[in-house]
Structure 1
Amino acid sequence: MLDLEWSQAIELPRFAQPAMRPGDLRQAWVHRAAEDLVLALYRRAGSLEGPLPAPWWLRAVAAGWLESRALGFRIEDRIQQLLSRRPGWEFVPWAADGESGYWEFMPSERGKSGHSIPTTVLNTDRHPGWIDVLPAHTGPTPRPIPVSGLAGLRARLGEFEAVR
């Protein structure tokens, strides 16, 4: 039953509108319920099954690495503000169950370099910069490049956008 309860907790409502930015995906119970209740259910469900599908920020909050869900939302929104002002970046809302979506640099896909998978920016709980970049590629997925927060992403965007 706990599996079903968790599955419903991360599920978006059937009436959800198409998402154009991370904030549009924040309609599930994990986004709206009291944070202590979300953490309690996540910990109970995870203790039985191991790793659960969950937003990156919830894994980070549960581990004690991120102070709150609101801070996770703010990080996502700041990335959206930065990338939405730059040509070629598109938000992709259909990530893994419970995840917050990601951004793709479309000019890096099928450009001169011929890559079939574009440069991708995604949030992560792997490190305290909270941002990973997957370089444009064809074939096996490369190791993610850890980025030191929004300032690190801003500083390296030219490098990431150079692959076309």
Structure 2
Amino acid sequence: MIPWALDGVDLGADVLEIGPGYGATTVALATRTPRLTAVEIDPELARGLQARLSGRVNVVEGDGTAIPLPDNSFTGVGSFTMLHHVPSVALQDRLFAEAFRVLRPGGTFAGMDGVPSLGFRLVHLYDTYVPVNPDTLAPRLRTAGFTDIWLTAVPGRSFRFRARKPLR
């Protein structure tokens, strides 16, 4: 997942991952950057990540829609198969705004998620599921302040994206 999602993307030396969950993507991401911070909303998952990845990843218990970290902190921000778990479109947009806020000027926000489908919905039958329509993602990222937005989708499967925080 990470190689495809980040093909051609350089997140830099100080990266934030929003919503790592159990940490499958976190382990892969940690090999790509010297400094990785992960913000996880679920206290139990955050504790598990901290126990497993202590010394390799700085794990912060927090909400991706209100990231408890300073402005302009990271060279890159990543979000991998978690956007559909954010419980509303408005909160997803807040997460995009927060990713923008914590990025340094010139930094990249990149990630991937599943394309809305019946199969994807069935997998999340008893879980939060607010799919992101890839056709509306670019305007939403632009509203958050991002430029140089690029997106590609594999029909019926997933999409990946990247966007940049302008230098000014």
- Whether these two folds match at TM > 0.5 is no
Which structure: greater strand fraction? 2
- TM-score, reference length from structure 2: 0.24
Which structure: greater helix fraction? 1
- TM-score, reference length from structure 1: 0.24
